[in-house]
Chain A
Amino acid sequence: MNELVHGILSPQFFYSILRVTTPILFAALAALLSDVAGSTNIGIEGMMLMSAFWGVMVSAWTGSAWIGLLAGVTSSVLLSLALAYFYLNLKTDLVLAGIAFNIFSSGATVFLLYLFTGDKGSSSSLKSYVLPKIDIPLIKDIPVVGDILSGHHVLTYIAFISVFVVQYFIYKTPLGLRLRAVGENPDAAQSVGISVKKIRYISMLLSGLMAGFGGAFLSMGYVSWFARDMTNGRGFIGLAAQALGGHSAFGSMWGSLLFGLAEAASYTLQAIRIPSEFTNMLPFIFTIIALAIYARSKLLQIKKIKEEEKKA
């Protein structure tokens, strides 16, 4: 019990929540940006993987982590535009195309990895670069709070800043308004001369951008290599986090933090011999509980009516 308290209440635990949340949050924002325009990007997982791969490769070739990041994000954006092309021009089913892209990315990254490095598991032999960590002046000197908030990877800060930017973008800018209009009623958008196709391309592109950051974080911050299928479902967890949060960037953030908390807790709990079968379930138990709370409020309402009916 002592260890539990020690494990959960340490600043490092809260620090790790933010780190674990980062890729999920990027994925959730990617999901959000595509979902508001009504074309949910199922290919986030694959885009993250692509970005993780190219980030490592290009940073190794150029010796610059920033150029690597640019390359990673670019690859993800290109993939998202390709998905948009399949969906909007070739009229394929978005979900099927998204899944196909995920499978493609999984295979293509391994193939390219082998082609460039002769390795197929990980980029172990490649000297790639990672993006820096940032200490926030002033905050870093505050005890506890400084330990939790300062010294994170630069992309972790970008993720949380993106929450505000995305929220502002969706709800305050003309383009955001059009995105939402297309998502809610494409006919309405069309009727005032907005090109639904163009807006969906833009939304998919922005989604790819966010997915790209998420992928680059995995291979250029979290760890310093690319490993086959290293996203391991984070794209899908991001989709779930967004679904929990609805059409709000803050909602997506809380959803992501919920998953991040559950995941970080599962790591710490495992270290003190809570069975891994149980701890690996934790993030999903959290989801179910969140949904149950939501459903419960509705049930209570119905119960109230029933009681009133009995009285009558």
Chain B
Amino acid sequence: MKKLLVVLLAVFVVMSFAQLKVALLINGTLGDKSFFDSAARGIKMAEKDLGIKATIIEMGYDQSAWRPTLEDIADQDYDVIIVGTWQMQEILEDVAPMYPEKKFIIFDTTVDYSKGDLDNVYSILYKQNEGSFLAGALAAMITTSGMEKTNPQPIIGFLGGMDIPVINDFLVGYIEGAKYINPNIKVIISYAGAFNDPAKGKELVLAQYRQGADISFNVAGETGIGLLEAAKEMDKWAIGVDSDQALIVEEKDPDMAWHIVTSMMKNVDLSIYRALKLTIEGKCPYGKAEALGIAEKGIGLADNKYYEKIVPKKFRDKIKEIEKLILEGKIKVDTAFGMPREKLDELRNSVRP
């Protein structure tokens, strides 16, 4: 009897893996030109290449509906359920243990595994420090390149939302990347103290540009809109973040898009595709969080028409070369997580103008 059950179960498992049923729950709506659209793209790719059967559910912005929707979906016969962003973290921590037979993937954040019973959850993080390393290297090359909108001073800018580890993780990579290109690089670092104050973001970056910076990196959420405005107003360069910000603004303001050389993107699409692929292969490390970097194509610079038109080929090649070096482990990028304050300050002071 017991044997029979095992066999049946084995058959069932094999059958179910034959065509993986996947649900992507979006805590918002599609059309954000950012994470959600990217996640949907990843699902489409997996549908095409991996032969999964997928459903995308837009849960809207009413937070009270998210949890019941997640439970409803888990009650159905999906094998893998994908959610994203920190807003879903707690909900998933509550719901996942109730469905131990289901698999869950969460991107751009991690559940707290110390809470236990989360062996069926795989968390995808992105090594923003590695991506920022590329952004820093690119900025350092552009600032002294003699390109239009630049001055000869080796000064670049950084706009952070707040002085907190996740933002400083971008900063550490950015500084190290810039110093890799030019050891004498100076970085003007500004923190807005808020993620929703574009006016303040604009003022801070205008001040950076006045101090001689000619390119600045936006790591400040909605505050960062101000950076893009400032770049357009002072006719300087900007580097976007998270998703391809040039594509986001080009429709609204083409002129502004032409000031965004590239964006440091989190490749949600590729990371989801990869996770599903590993799941089918039985190699996906559920019960763990994984930080994806350049090696896993989890992050990278946006390779769009603006990048190609604005950035000279030799710089783009150099970026590719750096990517390779990181991939091969020849360049190791530090992270701000767990970095002692003194060391962070030392790093920041080393590039002080």
Contacts and interface: CB of A to CB of B under 8 A. Distances in A.
Q: Do chains A and B touch in the complex (CB under 8 A)?
A: yes
Interface of A: 3, 6-7, 10, 12-13, 16, 19-20, 23, 110-111, 114, 118-122, 124-128, 218, 222-225, 227-230, 232, 263-264, 267-268, 270-273, 276-277, 280
Contacts of B193: 276, 280
Contacts of B251: 125, 127
Interface string B169-205: 0000000000000000000111101101111101110
B210 A228 contact: no
Nearest to A126: B252
A223 B226 contact: yes
Given A128-B252, A223-B199, A272-B188, 6 more contacts: A7-B211, A125-B248, A127-B253, A229-B196, A232-B196, A280-B191
A23 B200 CA distance: 12
B221 A225 contact: no
B135 interface: no
A124 B225 CA distance: 9
A10 B207 CA distance: 11
Contacts of A228: 196, 222
Interface stretch (B25-33, B98-106, B108-116, B320-328): B25-33
Contacts of B337: none
B303 interface: no
A268 B191 CA distance: 12
A120 B28 contact: yes
Given A124-B252, A273-B353, A227 B196 contact: yes
Contact of A12 (B33, B208, B210, B225): B210
Contacts of A276: 163, 190-191, 193
Contacts of A121: 221-222
Contacts of A16: 203, 206-207
A270 B191 contact: yes
B280 to A, nearest CB: 32
B42 to A, nearest CB: 20
Contact of B197 (A125, A127, A224, A232): A232
Given A124-B252, A125-B33, A114 B210 contact: no
A233 to B, nearest CB: 9
Given A7-B211, A125-B252, A270 B190 contact: yes
B199 A224 contact: no
Contacts of B203: 16, 19-20, 263-264, 267
